[in-house]
Structure 1
Amino acid sequence: MIKIKQISFQGFKQRFQVKKPWDDVIIFVLNILIAIPVFIIAHQNLVEFNWALNLDRILLFLLIIVIIQLILRLLRTIIIICIILYVLVLFYGTVFGNYGFESVFEDYNSMMYTMSDNPNPQDIIIAKLLPFPNKSKIVSAIEYKNPKVRNFAIMATSKNFKNVKGYSDYRTIIQCFAVFKEINRRWNYVSDPKDGDYIATASESLDYFSGDCDDHSILMAAAVRAIGGTPRLIHTKGHIYPEILIGTLNDLETVNYLIKNVLFVKESHQKQLHYHIDERGQVWLNLDYTAKYPGGPFLSEEILGALTLN
């Protein structure tokens, strides 16, 4: 009985064992295929040391390759089964909306693009917490439930970036960028009357796409919130501008790639993203009327107050 089992195991082993030198070739290819998603996950969850030339990430990738290579060599006799399992896992993730082939490709693209062209963080400490000017009037003017505002935002998403595929997790952000593009393309700066601030409602600004910085911020915040985005208004000395919540620094990698390689290629060419990181580690991207692309340069950097619209 034991002899029969040994014969069966030897037959099973010989059936799935790849002959030399093809076993080394297959192991190397499989190593790279496994190492890429493993490295992406490690890159997203381990602290970056920000070494020159991203040396910490290069060493991490080499370490992962060495470890996987050793494991695959131990499993040399069932290498074909390893390949089948690897493909089945990614196929399952692709079919059921988890981590699949498309996710690996997207994460690799965004990670490599960000590592070669780092965004420009603006971790500005709030020096003075002052009351937000005209807060109650501004909140009332952000009419994100107004049908006119909602319809405009929907129109903008149909007009801009409608055909961008493969980034379903960032659909809302892409649509908010479509709103940004439509508003900033049409915005005409007009000063308030000399005798005081004039706070225009979002629906009012839609008539002529004109007004000062607070009018622009109100319209942008209302339209972004009307389609599911999370905006906030930043008060600086003599200026107010809108920002949008991107998410984590990992999300910023993908957004950086989208802005510079898909959505605003010409506008952001050889330029950096400008953003703030709040006390929770969340990333907020600049949407000012002076910016030609989301994350354009700040007009004024000293923050005096912030008004977040949840």
Structure 2
Amino acid sequence: MIQLNKTNFHLVKSKFQLKKPWDSFVIFLLSILITIPLFIVLHQNLIDPHWYFNLDRILLFILVLVTVHLALYSLRTIIIICLALYFLALIYGSLFGNFSFNSVFDDYNSMLYTMNNNPFPQDIIIAKLLPFPNKDEILKAIEYENPKVRNFAIMATTKHFKKIRGYSDYRNLIQCFAVFKEINSRWNYVNDPKNGDYIATAHESLLYFSGDCDDHSILMAAAIRSIGGTPRLIHTKGHIYPEILIGNRSDLEKVNYLIKNVLFSQESHHKQLNYHIDERNQVWLNLDYTAKYPGGPFLSEEILGALTLE
């Protein structure tokens, strides 16, 4: 009886065992396929020491690949089952979960792009460094609940980037970038009255898309806030400009790829993203009226204060 069971076991084992040299090829291919998503998860959750040429990430990838390869080699007699389970997991993720074949491709593509096209970070900003000038008037002027402001923002989302597909996790951010594109493409800079500081409300600026930097910032913040984005205003010496919260450093990779390859490829060609990191390690992109794309160059970098709308 025992001998019969052993015979049956070896028969089943032989059916699932690949012949040489195909077993080595399949093990190596499967090692690459498994290493990529594991490496992405580790890359997004481990602190980046910023080694030259991203040597830390290269070594990490090699370490994960070797570990996975050795594990699969030890299971080479049931390699077909391992291969089937891997693809079943991705198929299940594609149909019912959040991690699919497209997710693996997009995350890996974004990661590689960012590693070769690094955004340009600025120093951490501590909110409310100094009292924000005209804070009460500005907050009152940011009329994000005004129907005219929200209708304008909705119009912008239907005009720009509506056909972009495959980035559901960043849908709201893409819509906020549509608002940025609409406002900045139409904005006409006009000075305040001499020896005065005129603060226009958001719906007032919608009439002619004209005004100075604080008027632009108020309109941008109101429109973005009206559709669920999180803006803030930055006060520098003689200047105010808006920024938008995009998330953490791992979100920055995807946003960097989106801006440079999908949404603003011409405007940001061979250019870097400019952003700030706050005390909670959240990333904020520049949306100044001089910027042609989200994260464009700063007009002024001397930070005096920050006003966040949440």
The corresponding residue for 2:298 is 298
Return the alpha-carbon distance in structure 1 between the equivalents of residues 272 and 5 of structure 2: 64
One-letter identity of the residue aligned with 1:140: K
Q: Contact 2:16–2:78 (CA<8 Å) still a contact in 1?
A: yes
TM-score (norm 2): 0.98
- Whole-angstrom distance in 2 between the partners of 1:127 and 1:309: 12
**Over residues 259-286 of structure 1, what are the superposed CA-to-partner deviations in whole Å (9 max), with x where a residue is unaligned?**
0111111111111110000000000000
Post-superposition shift, 1:130?
Answer: 1.9
Local SS of the residue matching 1:242 = strand
1:55 to partner: Cα distance: 0.8
Find the residue that maps to 1:207 and give its secondary structure: coil
Report if aligned partners of 1:230, 1:309 keep a CA contact under 8 Å in 2: yes
Instruction: For 2:204 and 2:182, locate their aligned partners in 1 and report how far apart those are by CA, in whole Å.
Output: 16
Counterparts of 2:128 and 2:47, CA distance in 1: 31
Please give the per-residue CA displacement for 1:227-251, whole angstroms capped at 9, x wherever unaligned: 1100000000000000000100000
Residue 199 (structure 1) aligns with: 199
* Alpha-carbon distance in 1 for matches of 2:252, 2:37: 18
CA RMSD, Structure 1 to Structure 2 (Å): 1.2
TM-fit CA distance, 1:195: 3.2
Inter-CA distance 169–128: structure 2 relative to 1 (3 Å threshold): closer
Residue 48 of structure 1 deviates from its aligned partner by 1.3
CA distance in 2, matches of 1:112, 1:270: 16
Aligned counterpart, 1:160? 160
How far is the alpha carbon of 1:173 from its aligned partner? 0.5
Alignment of 1:49-198 (within 5 A): 49-124=49-124, 129-198=129-198
Deviation at 1:194, TM superposition (A): 1.1
Counterpart for residue 265 of structure 1:
265
In 1, Cα distance between equivalents of 2:198 and 2:97: 48
Residues 1:11 and 1:87: Cα distance change in structure 2 (over 3 Å): same
Contact 1:216 1:289 in 2 (8 A): yes
For residues 72 and 237 of structure 2, what CA distance do their matches in structure 1 show? 60
Which stretches of structure 1, 4 residues or longer, exceed 3 Å deviation after superposition? 124-128
1:203-245 CA-to-partner distances (Å, cap 9, x unmatched) read: 1100100000000000000110111100000000000000000
Give the Å deviation of 1:98.
Answer: 2.0
Which residue is equivalent to 1:215? 215
**Cα shift readout 1:121-154 (whole Å, capped 9, x = no counterpart):** 0015569922111111111111111111111111
SS at match of 1:304: strand
* AA of the residue aligned to 1:2: I
Q: Give me the whole-angstrom Cα distance separating, in 1, the residues matched to 2:201 and 2:229.
A: 19
Which residue does 1:275 correspond to in 2? 275
Q: Aligned partner of 1:156: which letter?
A: A
Is contact 1:138-1:218 (8 Å) kept? yes
Alpha-carbon separation, structure 2, partners of 1:128 and 1:153: 28
Please say if residues 126 and 278 of structure 2, whose CA atoms lie closer than 8 Å, have aligned partners that are also in contact: no
Question: Offset of 1:196 from its aligned partner?
Answer: 1.4
Opposite residue 39 of structure 2, the aligned amino acid is: F
Q: Alignment identity in percent?
A: 74
Partner of 1:12: 12
Show structure 2 runs of 5+ residues with no match: none
CA contact (8 A) 1:143 1:203 kept: yes
The letter of the residue matching 2:56 is D
Determine whether 1:284 maps to 2:278. Answer: no
Counterpart residue number, 2:239: 239
Q: Contact 2:125/2:276 (CA < 8 Å) preserved in 1?
A: no
Give how far 1:46 is off.
Answer: 1.1
Work out whether residues 124 and 278 of structure 2, in 8 Å CA contact, stay in contact via their aligned partners in 1.
no
Residue 118 of structure 1 aligns to a residue whose secondary structure is coil
- The alignment covers a number of residue pairs equal to 310
Indicate the residue corresponding to 1:29 in structure 2.
Answer: 29
Report how far residue 171 of structure 1 moved: 0.4
Query: Are the structure 2 counterparts of residues 151 and 217 from structure 1 closer, same or farther at C-alpha, using a change threshold of 3 Å?
Result: same
Specify the SS of the correspondent of 2:243.
strand
Superposition deviation, residue 94 in structure 1: 1.0
Amino acid at match of 1:49: P
Q: Is the 1:126–1:304 contact (alpha carbons within 8 Å) kept by the matching residues of 2?
A: no
How many angstroms does 1:12 deviate by?
Answer: 1.0
TM, length-normalised to structure 1:
0.98
Supply the AA of the counterpart residue of 2:137: K
